Amino acid sequence: MKEQRGIQSVEVGGRLLLALVHEGRPMALKDLAQAADMAPPKAHPYLVSFGKLGLIVQDEASGHYGLGPLAMQLGLISLQQSDPVRLATAQLAGLAQAVGQTVAIAVWGSRGATIVRTEEGPLPVHVSMRHGTVMSLRGTASGKLFAAWLPHARIRASDPDTVFDAAFERELEAVRMAGIAQAVDGVLPGISALAAPVFDASGQIALSLTAIGAGVAFDVRPDGAPAQALKACAAELSRQLGARTAAV
């Protein structure tokens, strides 16, 4: 696709807004300019114009610059327009090719982790996942993923008999550390799965990206190529949803 022509001055000034978003706090002119890789005298006119638009505000006492009301309104509108499942669905076909296995989207429903979208992988043999299937909490990668990031009370609201024993808690901590959940021969012998979390702007898990396939042909190592592809896609979707810290 041919690269479209933009307005360079807008892109240059936009670096100041990106710096404020990245730092997440009001900044002095000198620090803000340095973060945007420009000299303070060059940065100041941009900040004046952004202030007139309401994109930034300057604190009268400290002189520090922060994001303004228009930036907040734009952020809220963007969040309202962001549908996590819709965004993730657009990535499924490419993700299936990258992972080399059938992939799916799971969300947390009233009965637990529930499959809502699927995409078959490029291999001639596919592991079937039906829409509406509720995944086992302890026996599947999707279930473990939600158990690792959802509050215990919300888990028990769907399954009052859930037990978070010491062994399960250690497994969930390992999931959080790796940023991905795995299941080998969990529910069906010979079937393995990986699941990566997508987070929303509030830092809560929005959905799971899950890959499932025959164990012999499926590398489920946390640092393997399929896991890295899942995590990269999950991180990009988290970024699109406004998460400040994407999946690790």
* Structure confidence at residue 248 as a pLDDT band (50, 70, 90): very low
Q: CA distances (Å), 41 to each of 15, 34, 214, in order?
A: 15, 11, 60
247 pLDDT more than 50: no
Residue 228 one-letter amino acid: Q
Instruction: Note every long-range contact of 191-194, with CB atoms under 8 Å and residues 24 or more positions apart, other chains counting.
Output: 191/127, 191/215, 192/218, 192/220, 193/140, 193/141, 193/142, 193/220, 194/99, 194/141, 194/220, 194/226, 194/227, 194/230
Q: What is the pLDDT of residue 229?
A: 95
pTM for this predicted structure: 0.68
Q: What is the pLDDT of residue 237?
A: 95
Q: Which of 205, 214, 213 is nearest to 175 (CA)?
A: 205
**Three-class DSSP category at 244:** coil
42 pLDDT more than 60: yes
DSSP symbol at 39: -
Q: What is the pLDDT of residue 246?
A: 46
Q: What is the pLDDT of residue 81?
A: 56
Cα separation, 224 vs 221, in Å, equals 5
Q: What is the pLDDT of residue 39?
A: 95
Mean pLDDT of 186-211: 88
Q: In the chain, what are the domains?
A: 8-80 (1.10.10.10), 82-240 (3.30.450.40)
* Structure confidence at residue 124 as a pLDDT band (50, 70, 90): low
pLDDT digits (tens, 9 = 90+) for 203-244: 999 999 999 888 777 888 889 999 999 999 999 999 998 887
- Which residues on neighbouring strands pair with residue 192, listed in sequence order? 184, 213
Mean pLDDT of 36-62: 93
116 pLDDT more than 90: no
* Structure confidence at residue 127 as a pLDDT band (50, 70, 90): low
182 pLDDT more than 90: yes
**Three-class DSSP category at 218:** coil
Q: Scan for tokens 């730092």, then name that residue.
A: 23
